[in-house]
């Protein structure tokens, strides 16, 4: 471990394997200043730290129904080696969802799945407005990344379990790992085999990843950062800070996502 840490600290990246970030965004965000929001600048930053691929949901797709997912399609087509997209779902615009799903099949080189943001859109995960997305994703083996937060009415542990009980084969990434309800996140991973925990807003504090590793190991944990919100050097270094083995670090930064995304990339 020390050798890999020394290598990372010295070179700013790990040479022996690349990094895949499964939870990214792009573009301006109303809530805070994000200095590096353009795809070209993001690519420069990714290359400096050994991140090979970012899977992202564009802020405008999430927040601006007039733009929707076309901005994702454009960017992925321009930089297919660097980015894959989530088709963002805004539950308030059912027509957009229908159109997105109708065109989804033709965009297999763009999308790996869907992104849901219930806390922001203020519609609970189990609401019927998302139903068509869950059904489509389960049937077509597309991934869903949903924002989750412990205790939330919209995407807390109760809502997550309702979905998992109903869609047994769905591959679901819990963005932020049910933040603060860490024990429940662990229990859910133990009980449902197609669920993954994602580390954005998790490894900016000591103690949580250590607990995940102890209770469920590293096979179902994915690296995610909300990039360009958060910094890759900061996040990757925290895996070393948590005392993980080289093998665990490799699974989290690369292998788990590689196998999950294999059919799309």
Partner 1 sequence: MDCKFFDVNIWIGKPMNDEKNISVTVEETMEKMSFLNIEKAIVWDISQRDVHPQIGNEKLIKEISNKEQFYGVLTLLPFQTDEIKIYSFKELKEKKIVGFNFFPKKHNFILSKISFGEFLAELENRKFPIFLDVMSGFSVDYRDVYSILSDFPKLTCILCNTGMWNTDRFTWPLLEKFPNVYLESSLLSLNEGSLEETVKKFGAERIVFGSGFPERYFESSIAQLTHAKISKGDKV
- At its nearest, how many Å lie between partner 1 and the CB of residue 168? 32
State the binding string over 211-230 for Zn ion (x if CB under 5 A, else -): ---------------x----
Rule CB under 8 A: choose which of 64, 103, 158, 238 binds partner 1.
Answer: 238
In DSSP notation, 204-227 reads: TSTTHHHHHHHHH-STTEE---TB
Give the separation between CA 261 and CA 254, rounded to whole angstroms. 11
Measured CA distances, 198 to 15, 60, 172 (Å): 23, 22, 10
Residue 237 near partner 1 by CB under 8 A: yes
Residue 228 preceded by cis peptide, ω within 30:
yes
Report the C-alpha gap between 138 and 169 in whole angstroms.
6
CB of 130 to partner 1, least distance (A): 26
Tokens 């083996």: give the residue. 141
**DSSP at 61:** H
Please give the full DSSP string across 72-89, using - where no structure is assigned.
HHHHHHH-TTTEEEEEE-
Task: Please work out the total of residues on this chain that contact Zn ion, with binding judged by CB under 5 A.
Answer: 1
Contact flags string 210-229 toward partner 1, x per CB under 8 A = xx---------------xxx
Site string for partner 1, 17-56 (x = CB under 8 A): --------------xxxxxx--------x--xx-------
Residue 255 sits at φ, ψ, to 5 deg, of -60, -45
Binding at 6: pick from Zn ion, partner 1, none (beta carbon under 5-8 Å per type): none
**Site for Zn ion contains 159 (CB under 5 A):** no
Among 9, 28, 94, 127, binds partner 1 (CB under 8 A): 9
By beta-carbon proximity to partner 1, the closer residue of 231 and 265 is 231
What mask of x and - would describe binding to Zn ion in positions 62 to 91, judged by CB under 5 A? ------------------------------
Please name the residues in contact with 49: beta carbons below 8 A apart, sequence gap of 6 or more.
12, 13, 19, 232, 233, 236
Tokens coding 85: 């997209």
Which residues contribute to the site for Zn ion (CB under 5 A)? 226
Which residues contribute to the site for partner 1 (CB under 8 A)? 5, 8-9, 12, 31-36, 45, 48-49, 201, 203-208, 210-211, 227-238, 240-242
């Amino acid at each position: 471990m020390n050798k890999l840490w020394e290598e990372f600290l010295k070179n700013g990246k790990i040479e022996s394997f690349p990094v895949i970030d499964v939870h990214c965004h792009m573009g301006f965000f109303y809530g805070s200043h994000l200095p590096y929001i353009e795809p070209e600048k993001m690519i420069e930053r990714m290359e400096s730290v050994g991140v090979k691929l970012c899977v992202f949901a564009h802020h405008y797709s999430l927040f601006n129904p007039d733009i929707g997912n076309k901005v994702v399609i454009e960017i992925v087509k321009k930089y297919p080696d660097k980015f894959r997209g989530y088709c963002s779902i805004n539950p308030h615009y059912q027509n957009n969802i229908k159109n997105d799903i109708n065109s989804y099949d033709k965009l297999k080189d763009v999308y790996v799945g869907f992104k849901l943001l219930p806390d922001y859109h203020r519609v609970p995960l189990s609401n019927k407005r998302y139903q068509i997305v869950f059904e489509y994703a389960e049937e077509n083996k597309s991934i869903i990344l949903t924002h989750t937060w412990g205790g939330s009415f919209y995407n807390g542990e109760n809502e997550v379990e309702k979905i998992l009980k109903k869609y047994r084969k769905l591959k679901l990434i819990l963005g932020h790992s049910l933040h603060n309800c860490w024990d429940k996140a662990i229990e859910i991973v133990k009980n449902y085999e197609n669920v993954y925990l994602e580390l954005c807003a998790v490894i900016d504090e000591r103690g949580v990843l250590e607990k995940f590793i102890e209770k469920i190991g590293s096979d179902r944990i994915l690296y995610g950062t909300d990039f360009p919100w958060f910094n890759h050097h900061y996040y990757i270094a925290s895996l070393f800070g948590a005392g993980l083995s080289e093998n665990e670090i490799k699974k989290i930064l690369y292998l788990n996502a590689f196998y999950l995304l294999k059919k799309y990339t």
